[in-house]
Amino acid sequence: MGIFDFLSGEFIDVIQWTDDTRDTMVWRFEREAHEIKYGAKLTVRTGQAAVFIHEGQLADVFTPGLYMLETNNMPILTTLNHWDHGFKSPFKSEIYYVNTTRFSDLKWGTKNPIMLRDPEFGPTRIRAYGTYTVKVSDPAVFLREIVGTDGEFTMDEISFQVRNIIVQEFSRVIASSGIPVLDMAANTADLGKLVATAISATMAQYGLTIPELYIENISLPPAVEAALDKRTSMGIAGDLGNFMQYSTSEAMTAAASNPNGGGGMGAGLGMGMGMAMGTQMQSGPWGAAPTPPPPPPPVEHVWHIAVAGDITGPFSKAAMGRKVTDGGMTRDSMVWTQGQDGWKRAEDVSELAQLFTVMPPPPPAG
């Protein structure tokens, strides 16, 4: 290094930071013995802020632009310390660059299930996960409350704490929302906004903000999901008989294609299962055949008798038998019953013909 370069280095500093790590939130400009020259050029690029620390005290925060570190543009620093001009009196200070862009695609999720009271299922547990975006909103507060004197602060160092805050507020919001579990998928956007709003006050205390928070999935315990799947399957199956026929066909196909049991044995097993399920299907869903109801009792005919133009009746078959006995009805009496085609002689009706006593043959000769 020549004498000219040495003198130039003593008279002026060029302070800047370019970052390609994508996860660095704060970076401290390193200078030997922290000696910042009077009149140094400070470059703050878009998406950055520079926090000037002098002798352990926050002196100023610089937004994007080009600055000459002199007393006329650092009024706060002027009240802290007054120095002479020139390289003989450099001031011992530190400059921290703060990344003010958004850190996106950060993950969050519930480590343990959240208990809530669902209007339909009652007490239940859910899990959830998603992504969020974080941004430094107040560089001075963030440096004072979180970073301290860390020379290179990354997103990983604060992400765990941010996730805990998100999960805490998500649990509170979801438990008090009253939204049924089955309707939460349709309201994830609104729930995300509610959670982001709820944590904004806490994040502001760290000098941070959450511009975006997304809920990617809300899930139930495996046992509850299995029960819902069965309930859905029953609804899709519709008719139980058709569903059992479909199940029988699937069982036969699976058994016939089982390589461990052999083709013939698998096919026989499948046919046996199909016949057993078919028998069970015919005998009812619970396996026992229902007792058929008794047949309806036969309809007893009643009869009318026409004698000399007069109609009497109706008479039951038993009453008609008594009339035959006492002579009130003969073989030639005209009778009628419902369903009969017109009047007929009693002897010509098979049901009444048996009422007339067959005359015995003459006694044998003595």
Q: How many CB atoms lie within 10 A of CB 15?
A: 18
Enclosing H/E stretch for 129: strand 122-136
Cα three-residue angle 225-227-232, rounded to 5 degrees: 90
Strand pairing partners for 49?
Answer: 98
CA distance 217 to 73: 51
d(CA 77, CA 65): 18
Q: H/E element holding 118?
A: strand 114-118
Statement to judge: residues 207 and 143 lie in one domain: yes
- Which of 223, 246, 278 is the C-terminal boundary of a domain? 223
Q: Indicate the DSSP class of residue 149.
A: T
Point out the domain boundary residue: 68, 99, 130. 99
Same domain, 167 and 126: yes
* Residue 290 included in any domain: no
Whether 61 is in a domain gets the answer: yes
The torsion of the CA quartet 227, 233, 238, 242, rounded to 10 degrees, works out to: -120
Shared domain for 75 and 109, answered yes or no, is: no
Q: Which segments of 12-68 does DSSP mark as H helices, in order?
A: none
| Preceding omega of 295 cis (within 30 degrees of 0) | no
> What mean pLDDT is reported for the chain?
77
DSSP character for 178? -
Q: How many domains does the chain have?
A: 3
Give the bridge partners for 81, in sequence order.
none
CATH number at residue 307: 3.30.1490
Geometric angle at alpha carbon 339, from 335 and 342, rounded to 5°: 45
CA angle 96, 138, 173 (to 5 degrees): 135
Q: Which domain holds residue 214?
A: 103-223
3-state class of 288 per DSSP? coil
3-class SS at 337? coil
Full pLDDT tens readout for the chain, 366 residues? 444 444 444 445 788 898 888 889 999 987 766 567 777 888 999 999 999 887 778 888 999 999 887 755 555 454 445 444 443 445 677 889 999 999 999 999 998 888 888 887 788 888 999 999 999 999 999 999 998 888 899 999 999 999 999 999 998 888 888 888 888 888 888 888 889 888 999 999 999 999 999 999 888 888 877 877 777 776 665 556 666 776 777 777 777 666 665 544 455 545 555 555 555 555 554 445 567 777 776 667 787 888 877 888 788 878 878 888 887 888 888 888 877 788 888 888 877 777 776 555 667 775
Q: Is residue 297 part of a domain?
A: no
Residues in Cβ contact with 2 at an 8 Å cutoff, skipping those fewer than 6 apart: none
> What residues are paired with 133 via a beta bridge?
212
